[in-house]
Amino acid sequence: MNITIYTKSNCPNCVAAKALLKSKGLTYSEVNLDSDAERATFMDAHAGVRQMPQVFIEGQRVGGLAGLRAALDQIGGGV
């Protein structure tokens, strides 16, 4: 499964999302968007994004921490 998580430093939900993925034994790629310019570019490219983290599974945005939890539940009972 191809998972990419877009994060920023000092983000409690980012830490929680990464911990959830690790607890499920899932590997992921992390892209840190600490730069205001990089984060703004990312948010402009993805309408509706207002917070971090943002998680993509197989190239499809599932949203933040709540979206990740919901996606993992759909994939297989929380994996």
Q: Which CATH architecture has domain 3-76?
A: 3-Layer(aba) Sandwich (3.40)
78 has pLDDT over 60:
no
* Confidence class for position 77, pLDDT limits 50, 70, 90: low
Q: Model-level pTM?
A: 0.89
Q: For 9, which DSSP code?
A: T
Q: Where are the alpha helices (DSSP H) in 5-64?
A: 12-23, 36-45
* Apex 72 CA angle, 29 and 67, nearest 5: 80
How many Å apart are CA 8 and CA 52, to the nearest integer?
7
Rg (CA), the chain: 12
pLDDT per residue over 3-25, tens digit each? 999 999 999 999 999 999 999 99
Mean pLDDT of 37-61: 92
Q: Where are the domains of the chain?
A: 3-76
Phi, psi of 63, rounded to the nearest 5 degrees: 105, -150
